[in-house]
């Protein structure tokens, strides 16, 4: 009788370890959320730089980087999401990603220059974020130019704190004009 319980406990532990391994691999993806693949109504902020060890707001004050604000999908894009999930029920069809608007803030040594509005394509296979002038590998977090040159690495930064920081920077620059 105790052997049956031992085998059952061992089997449950093995399943739990396998489930944790799958979960951890997905958690390693840039822009993976608790809702599954990055949700269409979620927002995110990512900072990309050629300097390793990007940390804290002081980094944003002094360094060179691209700060990317991925916004929620537009109304019509949300409608297309409903269609994609409807169509996905048919055999052989799988949603491979989606597009959404982004705002990119460029900094050179802490001085913001251009602010660009663009579209980003977040794909599942391959795991990439594609914006017209660069690509971010969601697995390695590498920031890559159009001609396949490494520009640095990217990391997700806290959304609300970063949006507050962006608002402060924009209002400060408006006050100086």
Q: Is 122's pLDDT higher than 50?
A: yes
Radius of gyration of the chain (CA): 20
Position 95 in a domain: yes
Round to whole Å and give the CA distance between 147 and 25. Answer: 28
Is 67 a member of any domain? yes
Examine residue 42 and state whether it is found in any structural domain, yes or no: yes
In a domain, 129, yes or no: yes
Number of domains within the chain: 1
Q: What is the pLDDT of residues 16-73, one digit of tens each?
A: 444 344 334 444 567 765 545 666 677 889 999 988 766 656 678 888 899 999 998 7
**Per-residue pLDDT tens for 64-114?**
899 999 998 776 666 665 666 565 556 555 556 778 899 999 998 888 887
Question: Is residue 25 in a domain?
Answer: no
Rounded distance between C-alpha atoms, residue 165 and residue 162, angstroms: 5
Q: Is the pLDDT of residue 124 over 70?
A: yes
Which of the four pLDDT bands, split at 50, 70 and 90, describes residue 15? Answer: very low
Q: Which residues contact 172 (CB under 8 A, 6 or more apart)?
A: none
Query: Does residue 17 belong to any structural domain of this protein?
Result: no
Query: Beta strands of the chain (E only): which ranges?
Result: 32-33, 36-37, 44-49, 65-70, 97-108, 111-123, 128-131, 134-137, 142-145, 150-157
Question: Where in the sequence is the domain holding 50, given as residue range(s)?
Answer: 31-176
Q: What Å distances lie between residue 47 and 10, 52, 55, 88, 158, CA to CA?
A: 43, 12, 10, 33, 10
Q: What is the model's pLDDT at position 22?
A: 38
């Amino acid at each position: 009788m105790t052997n049956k319980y031992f085998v059952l406990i061992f089997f449950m532990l093995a399943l739990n370890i396998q489930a944790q391994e799958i979960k951890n691999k997905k958690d390693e993806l840039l822009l993976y959320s608790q809702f599954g693949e990055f949700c269409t109504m979620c927002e995110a902020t990512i900072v990309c730089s050629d300097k390793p060890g990007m940390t804290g707001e002081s980094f944003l004050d002094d360094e060179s980087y691209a700060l990317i604000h991925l916004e929620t999908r537009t109304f019509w894009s949300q409608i297309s999401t409903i269609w994609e999930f409807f169509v996905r029920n048919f055999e052989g069809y799988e949603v491979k990603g989606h597009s959404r608007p982004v705002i990119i803030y460029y900094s050179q040594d802490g001085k913001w220059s251009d602010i660009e509005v663009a579209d980003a394509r977040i794909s599942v296979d391959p795991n990439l974020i594609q914006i017209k002038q660069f690509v971010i590998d969601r697995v390695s977090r590498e920031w890559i130019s159009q001609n396949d040159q490494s520009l640095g690495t990217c990391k997700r930064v806290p959304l609300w704190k970063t949006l507050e920081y962006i608002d402060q920077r924009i209002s400060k620059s408006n006050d100086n004009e």
